[in-house]
Structure 1
Amino acid sequence: MKHLLLLALALPLSAQDKATEPKPLSIFDGKTLSGWNVHCLPKDQGKKYWSVHNGAIQCDSRSDGKHNYVWLIHEKEFADFELRLKLQCFEAKKGNSGIQIRSRWNPDDGQGWLNGPQIDIHPPAPWRTGFIYDETRGVQHWISPVRPSHQLSEKQAFPNGRPDGWKFHYATEEKDVWNDLKIRCIGTQITTWLNGVQITDFDGSKVLTDEHHQKANVGMKGHIALQLHSRDQILIRFKDITVLPYSKSND
């Protein structure tokens, strides 16, 4: 024990800090949906939209557009964190998806709503990917950029044009390509990157702690979830999903 103590004291401060830094947590094992649970209305229970395909979480609703929202929710809760994943979309497949953060499923409201902010993914208009729509009851509009409803144009999202280096990759049966998505949540600040390009840096100090979020207990802590949007027919995949529990000292 004495030798271990002397060794710790002899280490440079930076090395000691690295030893205590949180490590990335993989929340998808690449083989099963262990740790993930499907939440939906009773009429959609038993439908196999969510599965594992070639090491990725796949949502495939191409053969059935008669469904409500169907969510794949991870069992753990996170507050401050950095989420990284790879995303595969197909240009010919219409539909909307998204990644819920700090969110909670409400089975008691009769509609089975998932309250909380969502990082949008929209293959038909890929420029929307990375912007933030808030699904919380009483909010339900874009919060970054701020818009009063679900309507959003590319000019409103990028008034000065798409940022330098912006790109979005579509996969095909012959081309197995992916997009990198990173989401960082620190306090009321939410920052997103698509393929290394920053999309939004949202200060939610007057939003994420308001009465609507407090009532639903979301916005500052909650679950990560993947969305199948109501009535949409889509093929989309997610893999290499890791979470780094975060504090300001990591920055």
Structure 2
Amino acid sequence: MKNTYFTLVVLLISTACFGQKQVSLFNGKDFTGWHIDVPAMDNKPDAKSPFIIREGKIVSLASPQGHIITDAAYENYELDVTYRFSAKPGNCGVLVHCSTPRVLYKMFPKSIECQMMHENAGDFWCIGEDIVTPNMEERRGPKADWGVTEGKERRVKNLTDNSEKPLGQWNTMKVECQGNKITVWLNGDLVNEGIATASKGQIALQAEGSEVEFKEVLLTKIKQ
């Protein structure tokens, strides 16, 4: 009995010290905790939303373009997003450190995008915020062209090829936001990392280019 009690105490202490609680940002039933920002719906409140729930998953229908954004802001966390292009390959992304709405092309919130576009997953895109990465000029182009607004070179190419699963299979993107550092893995491969100009904000998923299913959106706080 004493040994059992001692083991239980050790387990509880270990969990308190090292365990991190992973929570789902999506309840599988409705969009509680999220709001939808789609410019094309501003004057058409009855317009069909590009975000629906289907078989317990968030589905981005791609059009009209916009974002589904968490109501809450987050900092120091790991985000695990399981997704797939269910119909045809295309474009989508998860945005972190979101703040001011519609700062780019009157649609994109100020943020750093972690690209999910087929064959380009893991790229960073700067949207009002900036990020510094290793091999910056090699992966972003001439420094004179860099910027975070329309017409500037906002893309920082990812570090790997062939990290995506074949079309139709599920991919898992892990985004670690710790202070100003953002690190991205795709299916276990390190695909990008850098130091951003923001350290906290909301999280968003895109409707942009092709139908995408999101099976899981899981967040784990990182203790400081």
In structure 1, stretches of 5+ residues that fail to align are 1-6, 172-176, 209-218
Identify the residue that residue 223 of structure 1 maps to in structure 2: 202
- In the superposition, the TM-score normalised over structure 1's length comes to 0.69
Checking the alignment, whether the CA contact within 8 Å between 2:123 and 2:155 is kept in structure 1 is no
Identify the residue that residue 16 of structure 2 maps to in structure 1: 19
1:135 aligns with 2:127: yes
After superposition, the CA RMSD in angstroms is 3.0
Q: How many residue pairs were aligned? A: 200
1:200 aligns with 2:192: yes
State how far apart, in whole Å, the 2-side matches of 1:77 and 1:47 are: 27
Identify the residue that residue 219 of structure 2 maps to in structure 1: 243
Quote the offset at 1:130 in angstroms.
1.7
Identify the residue that residue 85 of structure 1 maps to in structure 2: 81
Identify the residue that residue 215 of structure 1 maps to in structure 2: none
Identify the residue that residue 115 of structure 1 maps to in structure 2: 110
State how far apart, in whole Å, the 2-side matches of 1:109 and 1:183 are: 22
State how far apart, in whole Å, the 2-side matches of 1:151 and 1:40 are: 23
Cα deviation per residue 1:12-32 (whole Å; 9 max; x = unaligned)?
3x7414135441111111122
State how far apart, in whole Å, the 1-side matches of 2:114 and 2:104 are: 23
Identify the residue that residue 212 of structure 1 maps to in structure 2: none
Alignment of 1:1-251 (within 5 A): 11-12=9-10, 15-19=12-16, 21-41=19-39, 42-43=42-43, 46-61=47-62, 67=64, 69-90=65-86, 92-94=88-90, 96-106=91-101, 111=106, 113-123=108-118, 126=119, 128-136=120-128, 139=130, 144=133, 146=136, 147=140, 148=146, 149-150=153-154, 157-158=158-159, 162=161, 166-171=163-168, 177-202=169-194, 204=195, 207-208=196-197, 219-229=198-208, 232=209, 234-248=210-224
SS of the counterpart of 1:168? coil
Checking the alignment, whether the CA contact within 8 Å between 1:89 and 1:169 is kept in structure 2 is no
Checking the alignment, whether the CA contact within 8 Å between 2:50 and 2:61 is kept in structure 1 is yes
Question: Alpha carbons of 1:118 and 1:110: their partners in 2 closer, same or farther (altered >3 Å)?
Answer: closer
State how far apart, in whole Å, the 2-side matches of 1:89 and 1:192 are: 19
Checking the alignment, whether the CA contact within 8 Å between 2:79 and 2:175 is kept in structure 1 is yes
Question: Alpha carbons of 1:151 and 1:185: their partners in 2 closer, same or farther (altered >3 Å)?
Answer: closer
SS of the counterpart of 2:15? helix
- In the superposition, the TM-score normalised over structure 2's length comes to 0.76
Quote the offset at 1:93 in angstroms.
3.9
Checking the alignment, whether the CA contact within 8 Å between 1:83 and 1:243 is kept in structure 2 is yes
For 1:239, the aligned partner's letter is: K
Cα deviation per residue 1:148-186 (whole Å; 9 max; x = unaligned)?
31466xxx644xx637xx342311xxxxx3111111111
For 2:67, the aligned partner's letter is: W
Cα deviation per residue 1:182-213 (whole Å; 9 max; x = unaligned)?
111111211111111111122x1xx41xxxxx
Quote the offset at 1:80 in angstroms.
0.4
Quote the offset at 1:33 in angstroms.
1.6
Checking the alignment, whether the CA contact within 8 Å between 1:44 and 1:70 is kept in structure 2 is no
Checking the alignment, whether the CA contact within 8 Å between 2:34 and 2:68 is kept in structure 1 is yes
In structure 2, stretches of 5+ residues that fail to align are 141-145, 147-152
